[in-house]
Amino acid sequence: MTTARDLRDASTKVLRDCVIHGYPIDPDSLAGWVYRGTSLGLPDVVAKLTWKTFQKTFHRDPSTGKLIGWNVRLEQDGIDAPSRPKTKRGRPVTEWNYEVISPEGVPMPEGFDRGLIIDYSRAANPPGVVRFMKDPLVALSEGSADELLGVSYAVVAGRTMETPTYFTLEREHPIDYVPHDHPRGAASISPLSLTRVERGWAEELFSAIVPTGGDEGLLAFMSADRETFWRCFDESTAPLVRAGLRPMVHTLTFLPLVSGFRKPFFALSEDERERFLQHASKSRAYFVRQSLVTLKTLACFAYFDDPRVRARYDATPPPGAP
């Protein structure tokens, strides 16, 4: 039985043979897992300029049922060092979004149809090479998806072009982070959705409307996981509602400028925020009141999605409860 470790120094020919003679993969056995990836077959200089290790994820999108995923950039601590994701603003850096599909009907070099296809063209990726790439993926052992082997090839104008880029994947741990702009999310994010800056303003408002984390003993709003909420909101709400959120956020963010505070909401102190919200809640302007009610509802949706908050209220029964 060939293992991922056995293939670290294998030649391109051996790697290609392994792909052609690899074993099928049950897609359900991938779903929900993060795999540690190791690039193979690249000259050392190329590996040093790019990366030797990375992570690939496999996530069953609950709204479409599709198996999707994304790469996670790792700090290059060494081929045997523990995985340490690169982060930006406290979140793992993700890239190379994809959908995992069966090989039927996919143009590919002969013999690359043993397992599954990681298809980058079916996900939202920035313009460039990535959109032409596909990775056939096979299991190294029959009936086990713990160690996998993949290779990249490009499809341009219907023609396939193999590359020397091989990689192994080793099952690492269950998925612990789903980015807001994961493949389907990114594809469905329209100009109607808030930009990152606007979302930051919205969250400043949310955390002031629901300023938990004080004497009352509840989890602080900003400590709650809001990613699922934003993903659901961007993917599932009516376009009109998504479009309507922007003017609401802008109104409540900049209204303090002309309401005696002379600063936008995000620049207010905690006491000023409190005073502004009380003022807005009694506004004679329907739109201001309605904006506050809407943002309060969304803040509650976001806050109460966090399992720790739900557990505090005994609102999530344990699995298998009668």
67-73 and 33-40 beta bridge pairing: unpaired
- Smaller CB distance to another protein: residue 35 or 230? 230
Residues numbered 179 to 238 that lie near another protein (CB under 8 A) are 208-212, 214, 216-218, 228-229, 232-233, 235-238
- Smaller CB distance to another protein: residue 70 or 206? 206
Distance CA 148, CA 141 (A): 8
Interaction between residue 147 and another protein (CB under 8 A): no
Interaction between residue 158 and another protein (CB under 8 A): no
Give residue 84's Cα distance to chain centre.
17
List the beta bridge partners of residue 162. Answer: 153
Options 11-19, 85-93, 112-120, 293-301: segment touching another protein (CB under 8 A): 293-301
Return the closest-CA partner of residue 60 out of 173, 182, 149.
Answer: 182
Task: Please pick, from the candidates 239, 260, 263, 308, the single residue that binds another protein as defined by CB under 8 A.
Answer: 239
Residues numbered 14 to 43 that lie near another protein (CB under 8 A) are none
Interaction between residue 98 and another protein (CB under 8 A): no
For the chain, how many residues are written? 322
Q: How far is the CB of 172 from another protein (least distance, A)?
A: 25
Residues numbered 256 to 285 that lie near another protein (CB under 8 A) are 273-274, 277-278, 281
Interaction between residue 63 and another protein (CB under 8 A): yes
At position 86, the amino acid (one-letter code) is K
Interaction between residue 95 and another protein (CB under 8 A): no
Q: Are 148 and 168 in contact (CB under 8 A)?
A: yes
Return the closest-CA partner of residue 295 out of 217, 224, 198.
Answer: 198
Return the closest-CA partner of residue 295 out of 244, 239, 261.
Answer: 244
Q: How far is the CB of 301 from another protein (least distance, A)?
A: 4
Give the per-residue contact string, 240-259, with another protein (x = CB under 8 A; - = no): xx------------------
Interaction between residue 304 and another protein (CB under 8 A): yes
How many residues touch another protein (CB under 8 A)?
49
Distance CA 39, CA 48 (A): 11
Q: Which DSSP state fits 299?
A: H
Return the closest-CA partner of residue 165 out of 188, 135, 121.
Answer: 135
Interaction between residue 316 and another protein (CB under 8 A): yes
Return the closest-CA partner of residue 41 out of 52, 32, 33, 56.
Answer: 52
Distance CA 88, CA 67 (A): 25
- Smaller CB distance to another protein: residue 246 or 310? 310
Q: Which helix (H) or strand (E) holds 232?
A: helix 227-236
Which residues lie near another protein (CB under 8 A)?
62-66, 208-212, 214, 216-218, 228-229, 232-233, 235-241, 273-274, 277-278, 281, 286, 289, 292-293, 296-297, 300-305, 310, 313-317, 322
